[in-house]
Structure 1
Amino acid sequence: MRLEIADLSSLREHRENGLDLRNAVLVRLDLTDPGDDALLRTSLDGALFLGCTLRPESQRRAHAAGALLFPAVPGLPYEVYRSHLYTPEELFEDFDPDHPETYALTPDARIYQHTREQGYPPDPLHALAERLHDHGISEALSDILTGMPIAVMGGHALTRDSDGYRSAVELGVLLGQAGFTVLTGGGPGAMEAVPLGVRLADMSGVDDVVKVLSAAPKFASGTTVDAAEIGRWLAAGLAVDLPTSSLPRTIGLPTWFYGHEPPNPFCELHAKYFENSVREEGLLTVATGGIIYTPGSAGTVQEVFQDYTQNHYGSVGPAAPMVFLGERFWTEEVPAAPLVRKLAKGRPAEQWILVTDDATEAVSFLESYTSVQ
């Protein structure tokens, strides 16, 4: 695997240790200062420069050595060659909770507006820039994940004042107490209730939190962006004081493809993508500890069968647990669970399918899987 260097201090340390830059990946570094330019006076065979600024002579030497130089793309509201995930603070920069309409000024809203202006599919320049961004996000997500993360899938429709939302918070509490790193789609509804529970650690403060959130129980509806309505939803979430940990326990994977759905403020980090298909496949792939499916609509059902396909063919590793939380929903209203069980008959995936109404049983099932891996 190529060594990636995204800051000058790491590059200096690398060179001080007597190491060259063959096949290294250098990301968004300004190397025009004479001292920094001197760091390039070594073997550059096969090196990859992403959005770096080099002196003309160093550019010529890099080309002669077979290195590839990808230039910065001007005029974009996002970093093309991104090497780290987003924090809520970064996505919601310039948001003023006292003026909800200022959500329109945030990087999250401005990037979505940019994608709308490009149309779908975007022209080749913007398509390439978005793919390079998404590749960087996938790399950053892979770098930060440890152990066997689990994912919780579910729809965005749960309102913050509903019984279903509270149940999703309780599920998050149980997963947090079990020590799991929890991934969700990063949006509203169940996708924010579960990480909220993970970070609360217990249910003792839930009533106070729900009272704060009741000021804006749901985000803007439909497929258009109402900045003020989203801003009120966001302001209520940001008013909740939550503990942080040294390692992120909650990571969202939202997408600007569904940019009318804002990322939630309760995930500690967001791996936000442009391409929804890359985001969905990536989420299912990195959830090596299994997936819990709470009731959802078409998107959740799509993820069920996309996940099962991975398990059926073993394309990304051993079959991981599929937990259908909500027996009546998954066997009668949307009977995906019986079909998955039928497809899994006699295969390794069969033993790791559970249909239940009991969140405690669901978490214990996931723990039993991680204990034998």
Structure 2
Amino acid sequence: MTDEDYQRGATTLRGKLVPRTTTDQRLLDEHTDADWLHTDPWRVLRIQAEFVEGFGALAELGPAVAVFGSARLTSDSEHYARGVEVGRRLVEAGYAVITGGGPGAMEAANKGAREAGGTSVGLGIELPFETGLNRYVDLGVNFRYFFVRKTMFVKYSQGYVVLPGGFGTLDELFEAVTLAQTQKVTSFPLVLLGRDFWTPMLDFVRGTLLGEGMISERDVERLQVVDDPEEAVRLVVEARLP
């Protein structure tokens, strides 16, 4: 895989064939004519195929934990080092490691999982600024649609460990909190790794959201923040114990 590769589902594109828009964008953009009447029903078949392929690839994965974090972390970052350790410790605790398959924090967790001899999974997505799966992914599935990919993360993970990240990381985190809050998923540990990074956000959650009655104390308690990768994995393991 080169820096010029563009991954669209199972297809790799290069050079002039790299599209200017993503599949998600074309699905969600406002239409100016009735062409969608003729094309959107066919998209349903592609979406269905992505679900079938994802379910088929991951059905026998076994216990797994998803690790999220910024794609922009560099390999000399302390957060990257924590990601490697988290991946390793999850494998030692008997879990496969699932990430978004990209660089940065995702690469770190995949690296730790592979070096520990475990199953390192990457669920890639078609994006205009990220290309292909990192080299530490052993089992990779590429998706066109974010919502299909999100389903795979929730369905095949027994919990999330979340390293510092941006909008994408926050999106995955708060979607999981919402699913737990509404009891769409149960017994789903959410561990935030990096106290200095996450504390300001948790201060807002507790001081403003809880303070103004927008959420409950139980919702705040779903978010556990730690500094130590060993403790992060311990919390995940303990949440699965009967």
Question: TM-score by structure 1 length?
Answer: 0.52
CA contact (8 A) 1:255 1:275 kept: yes
With over 3 angstroms needed to count, the CA separation of the structure-2 counterparts of 1:101 and 1:177, relative to structure 1, is closer
Answering whether residue 92 of structure 2 is matched by residue 177 of structure 1, we say yes
CA contact (8 A) 1:257 1:275 kept: no
Tell me what 1:266 maps to.
136
Q: SS in structure 2 opposite 1:263?
A: coil
Q: Provide Cα deviations, 1:296-343, integer angstroms capped at 9, x if missing partner.
A: 001111111100111111113x13101011112111167576479943
With over 3 angstroms needed to count, the CA separation of the structure-2 counterparts of 1:170 and 1:120, relative to structure 1, is same
Q: Provide Cα deviations, 1:74-132, integer angstroms capped at 9, x if missing partner.
A: xxxxxxxxxxxxxxxxxx4xxxxxxx577479965329836848771394476245313
Report the Cα distance in structure 2 between the residues aligned to 1:315 and 1:339, rounded to whole angstroms. Answer: 26
Q: SS in structure 1 opposite 2:241?
A: helix
Tell me what 2:18 maps to.
113
Percent identical residues? 26
Larger Rg belongs to: 1
With over 3 angstroms needed to count, the CA separation of the structure-2 counterparts of 1:305 and 1:104, relative to structure 1, is closer
With over 3 angstroms needed to count, the CA separation of the structure-2 counterparts of 1:339 and 1:144, relative to structure 1, is farther
Q: Provide Cα deviations, 1:35-77, integer angstroms capped at 9, x if missing partner.
A: xxxxxxxxxxxxxxxxxxxxxxxxxxxxxxxxxxxxxxxxxxx
Q: SS in structure 1 opposite 2:236?
A: helix
Report the Cα distance in structure 1 between the residues aligned to 2:205 and 2:192, rounded to whole angstroms. Answer: 7
Report the Cα distance in structure 1 between the residues aligned to 2:203 and 2:169, rounded to whole angstroms. Answer: 13
Where relative contact order (Cα < 8 A, 6+ residues apart) is larger, the structure is 2
Q: Provide Cα deviations, 1:329-372, integer angstroms capped at 9, x if missing partner.
A: 1111675764799435247x84x542111111111111111222
With over 3 angstroms needed to count, the CA separation of the structure-2 counterparts of 1:136 and 1:187, relative to structure 1, is same
Report the Cα distance in structure 1 between the residues aligned to 2:111 and 2:7, rounded to whole angstroms. Answer: 25
Tell me what 1:15 maps to.
none
Alignment of 1:45-124 (within 5 A): 92=1, 100=2, 103=5, 108-110=11-13, 113=18, 116=21, 120-121=26-27, 123-124=39-40
With over 3 angstroms needed to count, the CA separation of the structure-2 counterparts of 1:290 and 1:338, relative to structure 1, is farther
Report the Cα distance in structure 2 between the residues aligned to 1:336 and 1:291, rounded to whole angstroms. Answer: 21
Tell me what 2:183 maps to.
314
With over 3 angstroms needed to count, the CA separation of the structure-2 counterparts of 1:105 and 1:338, relative to structure 1, is closer
Tell me what 1:293 maps to.
162
Report the Cα distance in structure 2 between the residues aligned to 1:131 and 1:157, rounded to whole angstroms. Answer: 29
| Pick aligned residue for 1:167 from 66, 70, 82 | 82
Answering whether residue 66 of structure 2 is matched by residue 151 of structure 1, we say yes
Question: TM-score by structure 2 length?
Answer: 0.78
Answering whether residue 65 of structure 2 is matched by residue 195 of structure 1, we say no
Tell me what 1:135 maps to.
51
Alignment of 1:244-259 (within 5 A): 249-258=119-128
Report the Cα distance in structure 1 between the residues aligned to 2:11 and 2:102, rounded to whole angstroms. Answer: 12
Report the Cα distance in structure 2 between the residues aligned to 1:144 and 1:274, rounded to whole angstroms. Answer: 22
Question: What letter corresponds to residue 113 of structure 1 in structure 2?
Answer: V
Q: SS in structure 2 opposite 1:186?
A: coil
Alignment of 1:226-245 (within 5 A): none
Report the alpha carbon displacement of residue 262 of structure 1 after superposing the two structures with TM. Answer: 2.5
Which consecutive aligned stretches of 4+ in structure 1 deviate over 6 angstroms post-superposition?
Answer: 104-107
CA contact (8 A) 1:192 1:264 kept: yes
Answering whether residue 232 of structure 2 is matched by residue 362 of structure 1, we say yes
With over 3 angstroms needed to count, the CA separation of the structure-2 counterparts of 1:366 and 1:337, relative to structure 1, is farther
Q: Provide Cα deviations, 1:23-44, integer angstroms capped at 9, x if missing partner.
A: xxxxxxxxxxxxxxxxxxxxxx
Answering whether residue 200 of structure 2 is matched by residue 284 of structure 1, we say no
Q: SS in structure 2 opposite 1:155?
A: coil
Consecutive unaligned residues of structure 1, counting only runs of 5 or more, are: 1-91, 93-99, 202-242
With over 3 angstroms needed to count, the CA separation of the structure-2 counterparts of 1:279 and 1:340, relative to structure 1, is farther
Report the Cα distance in structure 1 between the residues aligned to 2:73 and 2:111, rounded to whole angstroms. Answer: 14
Report the alpha carbon displacement of residue 255 of structure 1 after superposing the two structures with TM. Answer: 0.7
With over 3 angstroms needed to count, the CA separation of the structure-2 counterparts of 1:284 and 1:259, relative to structure 1, is farther
Report the alpha carbon displacement of residue 295 of structure 1 after superposing the two structures with TM. Answer: 0.5
Q: SS in structure 2 opposite 1:145?
A: coil
